[in-house]
Amino acid sequence: MFTHSNTQLITLGTAAGPAIRGNENGMASAVVVDGKHYLVDFGLGCVRAAHSAGLRGQDLVAGFITHLHSDHVGELPAYLMWNWGEPVDGFTEPVSIFGPGQDKNRTDGAELAGTEQMLTCILEAFSYDLSIRVTDEARPPMSSLISAHDIDIPVLPDGSGSTCFTVYEDDRVRVSAALVDHPPVFPAFAFRFDTADGSVTFSGDTAESTALIELAQDTDILVHEAVNLDFFTAAGFDPTFINHQRMSHTSPEGAGRVAEASGAQHLVLSHLAGVATQQEWQARAQSTYSGPVTVATSGQTFTVGTPTAATEAVLKSNEVPVEA
């Protein structure tokens, strides 16, 4: 049973990548529960975005990685270096990072890193800096603080993977996951955070997903990706690239359908791939969803589980986004 309250969602970054087509930071979000925070993805700009939002490493509990595309993990090494040890108000207690394991669907999957191996390689790559700062700045060894976990996907009696399952739980939050459809990437996860105040569900990168609909049932806020295929078609992108966008991502109308089917109370569009106006993104999602739609920008704060969440989102959308 949760013993804490006061939950917020902060959209630290909302842009798809790795191409840069605007001023928004890359994908990263925070769920803050009574001053402690949990991060989802570590895209370009997340270090400055977290700092600007008032989030310090000393209050980080755990990180969650939806999948291993570079635009979701590219700034993880920098985040760790900038938020570690007392001199920078960084973490001095153990922090867990949960993410995908190796891709068993690829013929070379056993040779490619999952989350655990990625963290091991990060610590090795920065071993010179890490060693010096331990002796020169009295910081604790980072290797003793970072605990990486390849997410174990439960197997059902029929041999299929479990649709929704718990990844992490403490006295503030329960984090559940579902496998979503982001071919050719596997595994790719959606995450749901349940707290005493309500819930926030993150789609991760995915095509329209029935597993996500199940995971997001009656969620207070659904943060869902969206792609504008018309932009890529009009700009003359290669058909192979456009086909990937079509097969692996979701249109704003599709995000609306998922929100409607799941009974989500508020749809927040993020991971915006391609270019469109906020009005265009919103109108397309509203054509299939009867609830409030917010087109997220970097640095917005949403209060979870209160009737003012949609109002606060609109007010915050007029603020200046955090700098990348």
List strands edge to edge, sheet with 267-273.
164-169, 174-179, 189-194, 199-202, 221-227, 267-273, 293-295
Residue 217 domain-assigned? yes
CB 206 within 8 A of CB 182: yes
| Nearest-10 crossing angle of helices 278-286, 252-262 | 40
Residue 324 domain-assigned? no
| Residue carrying structure tokens 């959209």 | 11
- The pLDDT profile of the chain, 324 residues, written as one tens digit per residue, is 676 669 999 999 999 999 998 899 999 999 999 999 999 999 999 999 999 999 999 999 999 999 999 999 999 999 999 999 999 999 999 999 999 999 989 999 999 999 999 999 999 999 999 999 999 999 999 999 999 999 999 877 666 656 899 999 999 999 999 999 999 999 999 999 999 999 999 999 999 999 999 999 999 999 999 999 999 999 999 999 999 999 999 999 999 999 999 999 999 999 999 999 999 999 999 999 999 999 999 999 999 986 544 434 443 443 333 332
CA angle 58, 10, 90 (to 5 degrees): 15
Residue 2 domain-assigned? no
CA angle 186, 191, 192 (to 5 degrees): 155
Residue 1 domain-assigned? no
HSE value, Cβ hemisphere, 13 Å, CA-based, for 165: 13
Phi/psi for 105 (5° steps) reads: -85, -15
pLDDT of residue 305: 86
Can you give the CATH number for the domain in which 21 is found? 3.60.15.10
Instruction: Please state, in angstroms and as integers, the Cα–Cα distance from residue 296 to each residue in 66, 144, 245, 257, following that order.
Output: 18, 36, 20, 18
Coil, helix or strand for 279? Answer: helix
Residue 207 domain-assigned? yes
Q: Which residues of 159-170 are buried (b: 16+ CB within 10 A; e: fewer)?
A: eeeeebeebbee
Residue 294 domain-assigned? yes
Residue 250 domain-assigned? yes
Residue 65 domain-assigned? yes
CB 96 within 8 A of CB 62: yes
Domains in the chain: how many in total?
A: 1
Residue whose C-alpha is closest to residue 62's, from 79, 87, 37, 29: 37
DSSP 127-190: HHHHHHHHHHS-PPPGGGTEEEEEPP--B-TTSPBPSEEEEEE-SS-EEEEEE--BTTBSS-EE
Domain span holding position 190: 7-316
Phi/psi for 304 (5° steps) reads: -90, 135
